[in-house]
């Protein structure tokens, strides 16, 4: 492939062009500064390829999403979440024996160390479960050593224990006793059991809930260089351990512009409903350039046609609601808002479509999962993607520490005058 050329101050700099397996092309600027003194400036990294990766392919203009080459539409209807974890992390589909072994390991490592239960006692009743998750996942590194030999097992531990930590965070928030995992249940069934069982009653996992959860987790499993995955890669690039890197990803996911949008969507729909359901007035507010109000669950940095995950979830929502016998005016409201927005010039012009978070919240609600847990559900789904990216980077030949540059816009050199305040007392004066 021929080089690209950059001309600057009458000098020409050849820049190699890299082509991906789906024909995507990139100009390699990694030597640009050494050659010319120039750096590239791309706030928000909207036009920057941070790595080469073989995990996930997205074509945002065509609404395409594939995990390791397999279309999301097929994976979503034909796979279980644990198989998707295997596929993403190990790069191939497991055969029947490999999958069985993998599932046995995931079942055997579901318990958390009893001492970790004490950590939950220290949080105030209203603690957000995402804060608890970030702290708990980082805390796993205090129990399990970060050695080369323990890496395989640490991956299993993380995948197995994350649902226990999440369910315990929920139990803490409602003041109920923790429910221990059962080895006869699937990954998803076990999570539902730990969330919803109470000691005084027998809990039978509802297959409709298990199926719905399986779909939701698969649709969230990976999405290439999004904010949280890039954070995991960024933290991991310093050779931080797996637990610490994933904890960083959880914090990045929490924000309402990213994974926290699923919570914000329900809060937004609730507020519109409480205000008499006047969604048109709300959309007017969104379109008012001065209001800073956004239609949560709409828009995406990469998808400019439709988000295939949102399409799958919208189709699934009616089915899941009917099977669960659930009724929620927010589902109807969401559909009316989508319809209205998709024919409104403001949204059409900016190519704003529903993203994965627009319909996930209403489904979680129908399943009885409280709003504050929605982003934790995203953590459960995205975990295999984060692990796969952390591993890919670690094993790559070009695993340099992530260290972007900047264009400095501050003060030029100036004198730091001595004002004689160096030994100023910090003692409080009388009368204060
Ligand atoms: N509602 C109203 N207007 C929007 C929205 C929205 N949800 N999203 C983007 N826009 C507008 C912006 O105001 C901007 O308009 P302008 O050109 O007149 O200034 C234009 O569309 C482009 O928006 P950007 O902010 O530049 O788009 P960016 O790619 O940086 O942001 C993001 C993408 C963060 C997802 C944005 O669309 C957004 O905030 N959406 C709502 C939050 C959300 O749903 N996040 C979840 C994303 S999916 C995920 O992380 C799982």
- The chain-wide mean pLDDT, for the chain, equals 95
Structure tokens at 6: 């950059």
Distance CA 198, CA 369 (A): 15
Confidence category of residue 430, pLDDT binned at 50, 70, 90: low
CA distances from 289 to 273, 275, 282, 342, 355 (A): 23, 22, 13, 18, 22
- CA-nearest residue, atom 24 of ligand 1: 301
Give bridge partners of residue 6 from the DSSP assignment.
Answer: 13
Q: CA torsion 121→123→124→128, rounded to 10°?
A: -130
Q: Which residues contact 421 (CB under 8 A, 6 or more apart)?
A: none
Cβ 269 vs Cβ 279: under 8 Å: no
- CA-nearest residue, atom 20 of ligand 1: 350
Q: What are the structural domain ranges in the chain? A: 4-59
Confidence category of residue 1, pLDDT binned at 50, 70, 90: confident
Atom of ligand 1 minimally distant from the CA of 301: 29
**d(CA 301, ligand 1 centre) in Å:** 7
Spatial CA neighbour of 393 closest among 233, 272, 210, 263: 233
User: What is the pLDDT at residue 429?
Assistant: 66
| CATH class (in words) of the domain with range 4-59 | mainly beta
**d(CA 185, ligand 1 centre) in Å:** 40
Ligand 1, residues at Cβ distance < 6 Å: 44, 257-259, 261, 286, 294-301, 350, 352, 355-357
Q: Which residues contact 305 (CB under 8 A, 6 or more apart)?
A: 60, 61, 62, 63, 351, 353
Instruction: Judge whether 357 counts as a catalytic residue.
Output: yes
Q: Which residue has the higher pLDDT, 327 or 429?
A: 327
On the question of pLDDT at 104 being above 70, the answer is yes
**d(CA 299, ligand 1 centre) in Å:** 5
Structure tokens at 364: 């979680």
The pLDDT tens digits for 392-424 are: 999 999 899 999 999 999 999 999 999 988 888
Distance CA 271, CA 295 (A): 12
**d(CA 362, ligand 1 centre) in Å:** 21
User: What is the pLDDT at residue 116?
Assistant: 96
Give bridge partners of residue 26 from the DSSP assignment.
Answer: 18
Structure tokens at 154: 């640490």
Residue of 109, 222, 223, 357 marked catalytic: 357
Structure tokens at 287: 């379109």
- CA-nearest residue, atom 12 of ligand 1: 350
- CA-nearest residue, atom 30 of ligand 1: 301
User: What is the pLDDT at residue 428?
Assistant: 72
CA angle 177–181–183, rounded 5-degree value: 155
Average pLDDT in the 261-276 region? 95
Distance CA 366, CA 311 (A): 18
Say what percent of the chain tops pLDDT 90: 93
**d(CA 159, ligand 1 centre) in Å:** 31
Neighbours of 332 (CB within 10 A): 13
Average pLDDT in the 12-24 region? 96
- CA-nearest residue, atom 49 of ligand 1: 258
Spatial CA neighbour of 395 closest among 51, 102, 93, 159: 51
Q: Specify the residue for token string 């008012």.
A: 288
On the question of pLDDT at 324 being above 70, the answer is yes
Residue whose CB lies within 8 A of the most ligand 1 atoms, among 58, 298, 299, for a mutation test: 299
The pLDDT tens digits for 50-68 are: 999 999 999 999 999 999 9
On the CB side of 416, CA atoms within 13 Å amount to 2
Structure tokens at 10: 């009458």
User: What 3 state SS string does the chain have?
Assistant: CCCEEEEECCEEEEECEEECCCCCEEECCCCHHHHHCCCCCCHHHCCCCCCCCCCEEEECCCCEEEECCEEHHHHHHHCCHHHHHHHHHHCCCCCHHHHHHHHHHHHHCCCCCHHHHHHHHCCCCCCCHHHHHHHHHHHHHHHCCCCCCCHHHHHHHHHHHHHHHHHHHHHHHHCCCCCCCCCCCCHHHHHHHHHHCCCCCCCCCCHHHHHHHHHHHHHHCCCCCCHHHHHHHHHHCCCCCHHHHHHHHHHHHHCCCCCCHHHHHHHHHHHHHHCCCCHHHHHHHHHCCCCCCCCCCECCCCCCCCCHHHHHHHHHHHHHHHHHCCCCHHHHHHHHHHHHHHCCHHHHHCCCCECHHHHHHHHHHHCCCCHHHHHHHHHHHHHHHHHHHHHHHHCCCCCCCCCCCCCCCCCCCCCCCCCCCCCCCCCCCCCC
**d(CA 113, ligand 1 centre) in Å:** 41
């Amino acid at each position: 492939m021929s080089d690209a050329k950059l001309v600057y101050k009458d000098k020409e700099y050849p820049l190699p062009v890299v082509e991906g397996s789906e024909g995507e092309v990139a100009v390699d600027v990694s030597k640009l500064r050494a050659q010319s003194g120039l750096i590239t400036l791309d706030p928000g990294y909207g036009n920057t390829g941070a790595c080469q990766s073989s995990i996930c392919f997205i074509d945002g203009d065509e609404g395409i999403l594939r995990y390791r080459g397999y279309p999301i539409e097929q994976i979503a209807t034909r796979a279980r979440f644990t198989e998707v974890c295997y596929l993403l992390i190990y790069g191939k589909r497991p055969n029947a024996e490999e999958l069985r072994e993998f599932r046995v390991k995931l079942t055997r490592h579901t318990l958390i160390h009893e001492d970790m239960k004490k950590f939950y006692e220290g949080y105030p009743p209203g603690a957000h479960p995402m804060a608890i998750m970030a702290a708990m996942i980082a805390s796993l590194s205090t129990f399990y050593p970060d050695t080369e030999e323990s890496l395989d097992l640490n991956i299993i531990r993380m995948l197995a224990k994350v649902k226990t930590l999440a369910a315990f965070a929920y139990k803490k928030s409602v003041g109920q006793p923790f429910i221990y995992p059962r080895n006869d249940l699937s990954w998803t069934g076990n999570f539902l059991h730990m969330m919803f069982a109470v000691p005084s009653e027998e809990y039978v996992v509802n297959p409709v809930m298990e199926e719905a959860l399986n779909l939701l987790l698969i649709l969230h499993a990976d999405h290439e260089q999004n904010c949280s995955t890039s954070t995991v890669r960024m933290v991991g690039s310093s050779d931080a351990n797996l637990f610490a890197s994933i904890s960083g990803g959880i914090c990045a996911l929490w924000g309402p512009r990213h994974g926290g949008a699923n919570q914000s969507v329900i809060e937004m729909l609730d507020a519109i409903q409480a205000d008499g359901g006047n969604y048109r007035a709300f959309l007017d507010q969104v379109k008012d350039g001065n209001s800073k109000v956004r239609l949560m669950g709409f828009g995406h940095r990469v998808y400019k046609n439709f988000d295939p995950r949102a399409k799958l979830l919208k189709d699934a929502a009616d089915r899941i609601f009917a099977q669960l016998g659930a009724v929620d005016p927010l589902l109807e409201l969401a559909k009316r808002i989508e319809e209205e927005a998709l024919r409104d010039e403001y949204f059409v012009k900016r190519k704003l479509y529903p993203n994965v978070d627009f319909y996930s919240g209403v489904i979680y609600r129908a399943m009885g999962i409280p709003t504050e847990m929605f982003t934790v559900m995203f953590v459960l789904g995205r975990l295999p993607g984060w692990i796969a990216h952390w591993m890919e980077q670690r094993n790559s030949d070009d695993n340099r520490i992530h260290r972007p540059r900047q264009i400095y816009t501050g003060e030029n050199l100036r004198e730091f005058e001595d004002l004689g305040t160096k030994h100023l007392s910090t003692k409080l004066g009388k009368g204060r």
